[in-house]
Copies of this chain bind each other. A is one copy, B any other.
Amino acid sequence: MKKPTLASLAAELKVSRQTVSNVLNFPDRVRPETRRRVQEAIDRAGYMPSAAARALRNQKAMVLGLRLSDPRNGISGSFMDGFTHALVTLADKQGYRVVLFPATTKAEEVDKLVELRRTLAIDACVLTDTWIDDDRPAQLLELGVPFAAFGRPWDATDHGRWVDVDGRAGAREAALYLRSLGHERIGFMGWSDGSPVGRDRMAGWKEALGLSDAEALDLVLESDDTVADGAANMSLLLGRGVTAAVCASDSLALGAHTVNRRRGRHGVSLVGFDNTPVAQAVGLASMRQPVADVARIVLDKVLQQLDDEDSAQDGVLLAPSLVTREPEG
């Protein structure tokens, strides 16, 4: 059977196309009797205006754009995948779908978003992985692409709407927890990529312990976010008399844990970040990020703009929470 169209329905019912269209979009404009007759035919035929036709008319795609996060090691990556899951599920409840696309640079991401928006393929977008001197928020604001970011603007100027997790407060809590266990030399294992998230977490650790720059220098090691680097740096920190460590990620904490385990009862105490399944599996303490809350508020901020372009540009900082665990043997 050929798919019914506005035109074929109108011909079949001997009414104008405008009448069929009105029944779908402005039923009040059509006499009840005609409305009923047209609606019955529509139901019978299974006719539905296409997404394309509706997008043209409403200028709305009911789709949000999201750049596919770079593949990371699967341990830390599980956190961004959790965010994507939460966002897609919550957006669906509001009638929005999420379209994923890859981009190798932030500039390419902006180009693609502008193009998707200009062609009405998306209504708005969600940014992640904000960085220092991140041009994306300012550019999207200027180019009129509605967005909200998971991640604060790390420079002084406050661009757009965002939600972030207070990693500094989280690292503070982690350090104070380790101190409460009786540890005095508590190290920090961070990232060597200059990540503002990593720097923020390091600042929280340093703050909680009241360390001078010189004291901190001796207790910090930075590396790539890998299990192997976590293991290597744990060995180095052990040589410096460290008995506990705050780790910027569960990947690093898992690496530290593997060194640790060989030392049996004399192992160091660790707190990781993200409360990943791996941390749960091997019994590592970790800071849990409220990923579903982040997704919910990001989505709210995006959709608010679609209703009201002038909705407030502001940010929300959510607190992570410590999950303690007994390491398995």
Chain A contact residues, CB within 8 Å of chain B: 3, 46, 48-56, 61, 63, 68, 71, 73-75, 77-78, 81-82, 84-85, 88-89, 92, 97-102, 116, 118-121, 227, 251, 254-255, 258, 261-262, 276-278, 280-282, 328-329
Contacts and interface: CB of A to CB of B under 8 A. Distances in A.
Given A46-B118, A50-B118, A98-B99, 15 more contacts: A50-B55, A50-B56, A51-B120, A51-B121, A52-B53, A52-B55, A52-B61, A54-B119, A56-B56, A74-B78, A75-B278, A97-B99, A227-B280, A258-B282, A282-B282
Given A51-B61, A61-B51, A88-B101, A82 B71 contact: yes
- Counted per complex, copies of this chain come to 2
Nearest to A80: B81
Contacts of A282: 254, 258, 282
A50 B119 contact: yes
A219 to B, nearest CB: 24
B74 A278 contact: yes
A89 B102 contact: yes
Which label, helix, strand, loop or mixed, suits the secondary structure of the A interface?
A: helix
Contact of A78 (B51, B78, B119, B328): B78
A240 B3 CA distance: 63
28 contacts: A3-B118, A46-B118, A50-B55, A51-B120, A52-B120, A55-B55, A63-B99, A63-B121, A68-B85, A68-B88, A74-B78, A74-B277, A75-B281, A77-B78, A77-B277, A78-B78, A88-B101, A88-B102, A89-B102, A98-B100, A99-B100, A251-B281, A258-B281, A258-B282, A258-B328, A258-B329, A261-B329, A278-B278
